[in-house]
Amino acid sequence: MNEEDLVKKWLAGALSESERLSFEETETYRKLQRMDGILQQMKAPDYDVEAEEKKLPTASQPAGVVPIWRRNAFLKIAASLLLVLSAALAIGYMSMGDETIKVLAATKTTAYLPDSSEVVLNNASSLTYSKSRWNKARVVELSGEGFFKVTHGSRFDVKTSSGTVTVVGTQFNVKSRAGYFEVQCYEGTVKVRSNGSEQMLRKGQGWRLIGGLSAALELGAGDGPSWMGNESRFESVPYGQVVEEFKRQYGVKVNLVHVDVNQVFTGSFTHDNIELALQSITLPLNIKFDLEENLVRLSGDR
């Protein structure tokens, strides 16, 4: 008897005694045993027949009369409908065919697209895509910053106000803020088109456009952008952009006095501790800071 027949018979519990003994010597059997062991742990939860029976409509109720608990069932349905509705509203679901996910300041959100691609949105970012047209074209519009893990399949476009990113591979970060456009590729290949120019980015490469000037970037170690690790990291970025990012992360206002927003900053700040973050972005540049409620004052020494 070949292996297929043996396994089939074993699954049917129909092996003869001698067949069983020899089958139990095989590697296939050992693997089956292991699988069965883990499967047992996925057993359906205990179903208490007696308890469930008590929930049934009782004896004296003739068919056709709506038992009281049926009305409860209706309430249950109504309540769960309400829950589903409010949950849908909460994530900004729109029934127009276009689904918009908007992330407000001081929250990071993971969004799942219809093909189960994953987008982690940074603070103050939003993502729009058409649910109804998704099957024809995978296009999302991004304003702000997001990290994409794209499921394998047809072409995937991320449109921003500064350019379009077309995915050829899988994982990348797009940052599109006022006067700032940056793409970092963490896995696979990404094509960036902006103002008529085109770049191919491979794993570990990035590309940036600030105020009309573009530059290639080398990415450090790590599987994703720094902000996903609750930290914003900058390399030779104009100070004004750093301050903007700081405002988005902490949802505060910032007043600048005698601070040169064009000077270049390299460093990082944490998203968890505003004092520490302020120190990180001020000390290296000899800037003083005052922190009140929701207002930060940064003053240079000129």
Which residue, 14 or 295, has its beta carbon nearer to another protein?
Answer: 14
DSSP string, 3-49: HHHHHHHHHTT---HHHHHHHTTSHHHHHHHHHHHHHHTTPPPP--H
The CA distance from 226 to 186, in Å, is 12
Which residue, 57 or 251, has its beta carbon nearer to another protein?
Answer: 57
- Residues constituting the chain: 302
Which residue, 57 or 97, has its beta carbon nearer to another protein?
Answer: 57
The CA distance from 63 to 280, in Å, is 74
The dihedral over CA atoms of 107, 108, 113, 119, expressed in degrees to the nearest 10, equals 150
What x/- string results for residues 143 through 172 when contact with another protein is judged by CB under 8 A? Answer: ------------------------------
Minimum CB separation from another protein for residue 12, in Å? 5
- Residues in binding contact with another protein, number by CB under 8 A: 33
The CA distance from 248 to 46, in Å, is 49
Minimum CB separation from another protein for residue 114, in Å? 10
Minimum CB separation from another protein for residue 228, in Å? 22
Minimum CB separation from another protein for residue 142, in Å? 24
Minimum CB separation from another protein for residue 53, in Å? 6
The CA distance from 163 to 232, in Å, is 23
Contact by Cβ (8 Å): 134, 162: no
Which residue, 18 or 41, has its beta carbon nearer to another protein?
Answer: 41
The CA distance from 161 to 35, in Å, is 51
Q: Does 8 bind another protein (CB under 8 A)?
A: yes
The residue from 1, 24, 70, 104 that contacts another protein (CB under 8 A) is 70
Minimum CB separation from another protein for residue 84, in Å? 6
The CA distance from 142 to 175, in Å, is 9
The CA distance from 258 to 136, in Å, is 52
What x/- string results for residues 19 through 58 when contact with another protein is judged by CB under 8 A? Answer: ------------x--xxx-xxxxxxxx-x-x--xx-xxx-
The CA distance from 3 to 31, in Å, is 13
Q: Which residue in 150, 191, 154, 200 sits closest to 171, CA to CA?
A: 150
Please, which of residues 71-110 interact with another protein by CB under 8 A? 73, 76, 84
The dihedral over CA atoms of 224, 201, 199, 240, expressed in degrees to the nearest 10, equals 30
The residue from 2, 12, 218, 262 that contacts another protein (CB under 8 A) is 12
Minimum CB separation from another protein for residue 62, in Å? 8
The residue from 11, 91, 104, 257 that contacts another protein (CB under 8 A) is 11
Minimum CB separation from another protein for residue 103, in Å? 22
Which residue, 22 or 28, has its beta carbon nearer to another protein?
Answer: 28
**Residue numbers at the binding site for another protein (CB under 8 A):** 4, 7-8, 11-13, 31, 34-36, 38-45, 47, 49, 52-53, 55-57, 59, 63-64, 67, 70, 73, 76, 84
